[in-house]
Amino acid sequence: MAEYNINSQYTLLERAKGTIDGKRILPILDVMNLMGVQNFLKDVPYMPANMGLVHKLVRTTSHPASSRRAFYEGVTPTDLATAEVLEPLILFEQWSSVDEQHVETVENGKEVRASRDRIKIAAVLEDFVKAIFTDARTSGAKYIDGLAARLGTLSYPGHTTETLPYCWDGGSSTSTNSSIYIVDWGPEKCYALYPGASAAKGGVLGVNAVDLGKQTVVTATDPLTVYRAYQSQVTKWGGLAMADDRCFCRIANTETVTTLTTGRFDEDVLIRALRHGKFNTSTTRIYMNPFLASDVDIRAKDKISGWTTVQVFGEEVTAFHGIPIRVLDEAILGNAEDAVT
């Protein structure tokens, strides 16, 4: 497929690849879009950040013990123990720059621009979903803590470490692993963030696409040479808040190689993870990649108990104990994870 990039010496030969009559440019078919992104975005609720581009959570770390007393005895006042959590928002951005002559010398110039802009928007959304799972704030100020970073050490009831949030062990010790994530979405649980108050100017809930019209563009090879181009800017602010550590967990170390037997998908671990969390069936989703989803379908074929199908936004999907399973592309949930310890 031809990639149209003006600064990479777009030629008449390249243009010829994208047309059948020289008058109209064919629509660009986006065959690189990632599986499951649109479904994921339907699942996730958004809340405004309460500090502009930062969201502050204050949550309890323990409950005070009650006092017992008889008549006319006093009670010592107690205070709540709380912790403060700050969740940042980050900016994703794409630009589209199309030579004005590329647009104005074909009959469907508007469609040419719209086709390219739709793919830019899709790319921004895909990068946001990737960040939800794979980002780590240790990578720098332009990153959030994704689910893998928050759940990077084994910890679950019965293990040597039992602190929330839980990361369960699927049993594999190879470097061909993947992970299953369980998330209960909702206010006071887990949700995505968009800029609040004055930081929200421009309507940045979701993606903000702006047609900048014709602009003078400096070429990448020579700052003294310019051309006129139609430009578009696509932006998205996003963040992730996990308010309740009981409402999300990970099952790591799940083997994806079909010729191996140790650490393959086991619904017994899934049952334990669900029982030890705080998961509402109607708002919880289970996320995995196609490798593990295939194992799920095979297990569901052989074992009826627990496996059903449910309707989610008009689509029938596999479910476990009534909780829908969402399948995400391997580019988001990989199949080459090292063992988590």
Provide the pLDDT for residue 220: 81
Beta-sheet pairing, 177-184 with 307-312: unpaired
Q: Is the pLDDT of residue 10 over 90?
A: no
| CB contact set of 195 (below 8 Å; sequence gap of 6+) | 48, 49, 52, 53, 89, 204, 237
Total-model pTM: 0.88
The closest alpha carbon to 59, from 282, 248, 241, belongs to 241
User: pLDDT band at 9, cuts 50/70/90?
Assistant: very low
Q: Tell me the domain boundaries of the chain.
A: 33-60+83-327
Give the pLDDT of residue 21.
55
If one counts every other C-beta atom within 10 angstroms of the C-beta of residue 331, the result is 15
Cis peptide before 165 (omega within 30 of 0): yes
* Mean pLDDT across 64-86: 93
For the residues of 213-247, what is the DSSP string, one character each?
EEEEEE-SS-TT-EEEEEEEEEEEEEEEEE--GGG
Query: CA-CA distance, 230 to 246, in Å (whole number)?
Result: 49
pLDDT higher than 60, residue 16: no
List the single range of 9-13, 36-40, 183-187 with lowest mean pLDDT.
9-13
Which residues sit opposite 286 in a β-bridge? 182, 325
The pLDDT value given to residue 304: 67
* β-bridge partners, 218: 226
Average confidence (pLDDT) over 200-211: 68
